[in-house]
Amino acid sequence: MQYCPKCKVKVRGYKTECPLCQGRLTGTPEDPVYPVLKKRVSRVSLVKILTFILAVIFIVMLSARFLLIHELGRDDFSWPGVVMAISFMAWIDMVVALMLRGNVLKLVTFEAYAVMVFSYIANRILGNRGWDIAWIIPIVLVALLVFTIAIGIATKAHLEDYVNYLILDFIVAMLQIIPVISETNVFMWPAVICFAIYLILAAAIILFRFRDLKNASAKFWNM
């Protein structure tokens, strides 16, 4: 126990100075009754930090664009806008990821769709080369399907608990038939394989797990 010679009082706990006179204490401090918890950064604080970084990027890019136009007399600089667009998408992605970090399946699903949207936009910016619909989107959809089923098996969840994710992925996978039919997909093998896999899965669920599908639909529409 610690002791204050000036106030002549004993001080319990772990103190660096006397609570009465702020003078120096003598003796051996006691261990704290409750453990000292480390301060954690809250979600709100992280969102504020990310928003500040985004604001800094926007200010720097707008300033750079202004200086380039003013000094060179040209208005054909597109890279500041591209950097701002990518930064804004990254900000949305990280903020939503923070909000969904308690639900692994929902977080991974969002990240997968963010990758597909980002690849689509980036491909259009770089000249519409077609690698997004030919490769990235079908590969991400198949990977998302495998992950969703693996999470369901690992957590021993009922199919009705995650079938809505599969339905959403199935709808998006079927949309790939549009660029295939219109022949805008320059290499259609991955896309065709992707929606063939989803059609097989849909047939299996309808034939063997229709009750789970019905229960999930009823639960969804009663929300």
Residue 10's SS3 state is strand
pLDDT score recorded for residue 188: 92
Q: Crossing angle, helix 104-125 and helix 137-154, to 10 degrees?
A: 180
Q: In what side-by-side order are the strands of the sheet with 26-27?
A: 9-11, 2-4, 26-27
Q: Using one digit for the tens of pLDDT, what is the confidence trace for 167-194?
A: 999 999 999 999 999 988 989 999 999 9
Residue 106 lies in a domain: no
Structural domain of 134: 129-223
Residue 179 lies in a domain: yes
Residue 119 lies in a domain: no
Residue 4 lies in a domain: yes
What is the H or E stretch that residue 187 is in?
none
| Percentage with pLDDT > 90 across the chain | 33
Q: Using one digit for the tens of pLDDT, what is the confidence trace for 29-46?
A: 776 655 555 656 577 788
Residue 188 lies in a domain: yes
Burial (CB count within 10 angstroms: exposed 0-12, middle 13-18, buried 19+), residue 73: exposed
Q: Using one digit for the tens of pLDDT, what is the confidence trace for 5-28?
A: 888 888 777 777 787 787 788 877
Residue 214 lies in a domain: yes
Asked if residue 82 has pLDDT above 70, the reply is yes
pLDDT score recorded for residue 172: 94
How many whole angstroms separate alpha carbon 2 and alpha carbon 4?
7
Total domains, the chain: 2
Residue 212 lies in a domain: yes
Residue 100 lies in a domain: no
